[in-house]
Amino acid sequence: MPNPRVFFDITIGGQPAGRIVFELFADTTPRTAENFRALCTGEKGVGRRGKPLHYKGSIFHRVIPNFMCQGGDFTARNGTGGESIYGARFADENFVKKHTGPGILTMANAGPGTNGYQFFICTTKTEWLDDKHVVFGQVVEGLNVLKEIEKRGSNSGKTSRTVAIADCGQLSTALTQDGCLCAGGSESVSCRVSFSFSPLL
């Protein structure tokens, strides 16, 4: 089975900015990948805080250029919220994948075993986060959109314009005859070598 692919349709200042497509590493971090996948589809309903367990409509509340773009806090919208599809926060699954470059999707946390719904996307290599944050996916389309988000950041993390996830979900995936993985609802993705990267809190 191919790893699942999910997408974010991004707006910046209320204007469409494009789509980011992620491959989730269900083969190495199945529990963490499933948490993110289900939060993209919204299929788990309402969480403990009475809010839908869904990234749709949430914002990137912290963006630091040449580092990372952090989001996922759909309850408090400021980085203080924390929950998962499993109810409470959950343990670090493993640190097999590393923070090797731009596009690495990793879990934000407040220390060991505090994973919830917050994540970040690395915009550069962040090897100092290895063995501290769980890498569970990577951007396979839309690095240009990630760069546009990064431009709205600052050293403090505050964004100059609101960066929001206008829509999100899961793409259907299938293997073509030449063995390449194509994601439905998106342009075909060429076969490429996997790369790893990392985010922060």
Q: Render pLDDT for 114-152 as a digit per residue (tens, 0 to 9).
A: 999 999 999 999 999 999 999 999 999 999 999 999 999
Catalytically active residues are 62, 67, 70, 109, 120, 129, 133
Q: What is the pLDDT of residue 159?
A: 98
Average pLDDT over residues 69-86: 89
Sorted by where each starts, the structural domains of the chain and their CATH numbers stand as 5-183 (2.40.100.10)
Average pLDDT over residues 2-25: 98
Q: What is the pLDDT confidence band of residue 197, given thresholds at 50, 70 and 90?
A: very low
Q: What is the pLDDT of residue 174?
A: 57
Q: Higher confidence at residue 7 or residue 184?
A: 7
- pTM assigned to the model: 0.85
pLDDT at 187 over 50: no
Average pLDDT over residues 77-84: 84
Average pLDDT over residues 80-93: 89
Q: What is the pLDDT of residue 139?
A: 99
pLDDT at 184 over 70: no
Q: What is the pLDDT of residue 8?
A: 98
List pLDDT tens digits, range 21-47.
999 999 999 999 999 999 999 999 998
Q: How many residues does the chain have?
A: 201
